Amino acid sequence: MGHPALRQLTQSIEPSEIDTPALQHLIDDMFDTMHEYAGVGLAAPQVHQEFRLFVAGVDASDSNMRPIVMVNPQIELIGQAMEEDWEGCLSVPDIRGKVSRSVEIRVRSLDRHGKPQQMTATGFPARVIQHEIDHLNGILFLDRMKSFESLTFLDEYDRYWDKGEQSGD
Ligand code: NI
């Protein structure tokens, strides 16, 4: 938090640039970084790359969210339903806070080989995707908090608020 890259509007990636060694290497590095810091999502601006690209997913045993790569994502909120829940961010270490997000979304994007893909997501995966797409627009989850009353250090979150659920990236 504080690095200017986190506050920039990112650039779309040319489809012809996606299946190149440089981009493929970046995507692999982003998965490595995400796993190393036990995150469930990582957007390119978090590694100071101003591209419209993010990776997300938890371990393969969790069918909630398989690993995904989204390039140039376009999000559409489905319905009016919102839900408030805890989020964290690798760029805002050791902090948690409650953020209201759309329960259901549809996303169109390109995959890691530049092929069009579409998915709908509800609940936790929908929250993760909204959080990551915010990163591509220079928005941090703190900006989305309606109040800072729930702003919590990770130690206190673990002690008082963790219900054994995942808590964003
Ligand atoms: Ni984040």
Whether 132 is catalytic = yes
3-state secondary structure 103-140: EEEEEEEECCCCCEEEEEEECHHHHHHHHHHHHHCCCC
Q: How far is the CA of 81 from the centre of ligand 1 (A)?
A: 22
User: How confident is the model over 67-105, as pLDDT tens digits?
Assistant: 899 999 999 999 999 999 999 999 999 999 999 999 999
Q: Which of 76, 84, 104, 132 is catalytic?
A: 132
Q: Average pLDDT over the chain, rounded to whole?
A: 92
Cα of 13 from ligand 1 centre, angstroms = 20
What separation in Å is there between the alpha carbon of 150 and the centre of ligand 1? 17
Q: Which residues contact 103 (CB under 8 A, 6 or more apart)?
A: 79, 81, 82, 83, 122, 123, 126
pLDDT digits (tens, 9 = 90+) for 126-155: 999 999 999 999 999 999 999 999 999 999
pLDDT score of 164:
62
What DSSP string describes 11-53? BPPPHHHHTSHHHHHHHHHHHHHHHHTT-SEEEGGGGT--BSE
pTM: 0.92
